[in-house]
Amino acid sequence: MTPTQAATAAIAADHAWGDPAIWITRRPDDAIRADAARLEQEGPQGRPLWGLTFAVKDNIDVAGLPTTAACPAYAHTPQTHAPVVQRLLDAGALLLGKTNLDQFATGLVGVRSPYGIPRNVFDPARVPGGSSSGSGTVVAAGIVDFSLGTDTAGSGRVPAMFGNIVGWKPTIGSLSAIGMVPACRSIDTISIFAGCVHLARNVAGIATGFDAADPYSRHAPFAHLRATALPPGLRLGVADIADLCDPAQTEAYARVTAPFSTTPVDLAPFLEIARLLYDGPWVAERSAALRPIIEHQADTLHPTTRAILEAGMNRRTVDAFAAFHRLAEVRRLAETLFTRIDALLLPTAPFTPSLAALEADPIGPNSRLGTFTNFVNLCDLAAIAVPAGIGADGLPTSVTLIGPAWSEHRLAAIADHIHRAHSTRIGNTQTPLPPPPEPDALDPSETALFCIGAHMSGLPLNPQITSLGGRFLRCDHTTPDYRLYALGNRPGMLRAEQGASIAGEIWALPTTAIGALLAQIPSPLGFGTVSLSTGPCLGFLAEPHALPTAPEITHLGGWRAFLAQP
């Protein structure tokens, strides 16, 4: 659509949905139309988000609009946009307004706001999810194309589940947090809601960038948002969730995990850390961000928010250090875990609570919602929540792909595959998912590498590729001019006049990382130019002197076939 058409459609959808609790500040229709007309007159000018509509959670600054964090006493009107908002506007996106949230982003339910409770798009008797309640709902209802939320304990993922949309929780520090009201400043991040993984990734690619003004901002070690193909040998970590989820989520989890090669993961250490987020020093970190209000304006706070924040004022430093040390241990466990699996696959949340349940118990259901989300930010992990189909109860189910910091490109390929396998529409609309994206072409800063052995997807040395920023492009095979030998736990390939075609995989690596990878390759293996069916490519080759005594396995056609032998 043109910007004018997009604005007209968004305004009409908002009026038709008719839920003012989505918004804290909704821009006037005429202002939205005027911006759309300006964008249309200017033309795309290469702007990748030209005419796409979006909304911003009201704990992120938009110049000229109040920032309230759902607390009227806190309200102020910034003069400049948050850097992430500025990047999106510069890319041609069209802003509708600022959305409701659990006050000061404290909660996963979406009901802790003096501005009302956004209506759950599938069942008005259920909570919308929080804290990014309005941001999730405005996408799920088909009003805007995407929105910004924030995520500390799952606020960018739980509303995505309840709305049957994608929740993108980026690596902490990859998006500037300047202009965002902090919750737990050391683990907060701005997040993205969208109808599909491809759009969320594109928005993330524009919003991401180092900001020297943000002390928690980080330089990406490699281009971590390029689209990658789904590798053939995925290893997904899974957990026993039978006693943690309701029947609909349990059934969906079993259905989603069934096609994959899986590795059981002990969640106990991660669940322990998850509990610390609201029963440890990070409660005090929330309180530190809002200390003046707690000490001088506590009566302006939502009762549940006040109880949580006041509790943080009495935490002991000795307990904080014990928690920090335990977190360091669990972070190390996570590092080790992701050398054995490509991603951890979990339900996004155990269930969808009702408004009545929250009225009866404002704390318990909220705490349970964070079962699979609370530990992610603490452990410095990236995550993408995606729809997993509608359950027998008529409510959406969802799973989340979790990986190390800067693994979003790998997670996105898996997440998109799962989304398309189990869901066909966006939110609670009739809008179908767009066609799947193609992997990004090889960038000038990358080098294609043909892998034939243990560096292939799902095999033991593949983490040497992925940790350096490698992304899977496609399977391929050599011309029929090579012989293959078994050298213990890896193969050796040699060009030969009477040879065969050998199967392998093409991975794109940052060119600057090729030397680091080569340093990890033992003799007699090395790199050389390999002749493929699609042309020449850098690939693994062996020195001839090491092969005469090695078993030849050329007739099998590849290392995976060799490993599959009885």
Residue 414 and residue 451 in one domain: no
Q: Please report whether residue 399 resides in a domain.
A: yes
Give domain status of residue 437, yes or no.
no
Instruction: Answer yes or no: 57 catalytic.
Output: yes
For residue 298, being part of any structural domain is answered with yes
Q: 472, 507 in Cβ contact below 8 A?
A: yes
- The catalytic residue among 155, 398, 423, 467 is 155
Residue by residue, DSSP assigns 457-501 as TTSTTHHHHHTTT-EEEEEEEB-S-EEEEE-SSSEEEEE-SS-B-
DSSP state of 432: B
Q: How many domains does the chain have?
A: 2
pLDDT tens-digit readout, 58-83? 999 999 999 999 999 999 999 999 99
Q: Are residues 103 and 195 in the same domain?
A: yes
Give me 492's structure tokens.
């050796």
Residue 428 in domain: no
Residue 131 annotated as catalytic: yes
Asked if residue 151 belongs to a domain, the reply is: yes
Residues 6+ apart with CB under 8 A from 285: 184, 185, 186, 312
Six token digits for residue 466: 């992925």
Q: Of residues 57, 98, 174, 407, which has the active-site annotation?
A: 57
Residue at which a domain ends, from 362, 387, 422: 422
**Structural tokens at position 187:** 């683990």
Phi, psi at residue 483, to the nearest 5°?
-120, 145
The tokens 């090729």 sit on which residue?
A: 514
Determine whether 98 is an active site residue. no
DSSP state of 92: T
Q: Quick one: 69 and 189 in the same domain?
A: yes
- Can you give the CATH number for the domain in which 169 is found? 3.90.1300.10
CA 201-204-207 angle, to 5 degrees, is 160
Kindly state whether residues 360 and 476 are assigned to the same domain. no
* Same domain membership, residue 157 and residue 74: yes
Residues 167 and 308 in one domain: yes
* 397 & 465 share domain: no
Tokens (6 digits) for 157: 């993922």
Give the CA diameter of the chain: 84
**Inside any domain, residue 92:** yes
Residues 379 and 499 occupy one common structural domain: no
Name the domain boundary from 390, 422, 454.
422
The residue ranges of the chain whose pLDDT is under 70 are none
Statement to judge: residues 274 and 179 lie in one domain:
yes
With helix as H, strand as E and coil as C, how does 496-535 read? Answer: CCCCECCEEEEEEEEHHHHHHHHCCCCCCEEEEEEEECCE
- State which of 357, 387, 422 marks the end of a domain: 422
Range of the structural domain that residue 515 is part of: 446-563
Tell me how far apart the terminal alpha carbons of the chain are, to the nearest angstrom.
Answer: 56
Identify whether residues 536 and 410 lie together within a single domain: no
Q: Exactly one of 98, 113, 131, 147 is catalytic; which is it?
A: 131
The pLDDT of residue 465 is 97
505 contacts 451 by C-beta, under 8 angstroms:
yes
The verdict on residue 337 lying in a domain is yes
Coil, helix or strand at residue 254:
helix
pLDDT at residue number 279: 80
Measured CA to CA, the distance from residue 363 to residue 29 in angstroms comes to 38
| One domain, residues 84 and 156 | yes
CATH number at residue 517: 3.10.490.10
The tokens describing 358, both together, are 């929250």
Is residue 386 located within the same domain as residue 258? yes
Residue 260's CB is within 10 A of a number of other CB atoms, namely 17
Indicate whether 539 belongs to any domain.
yes
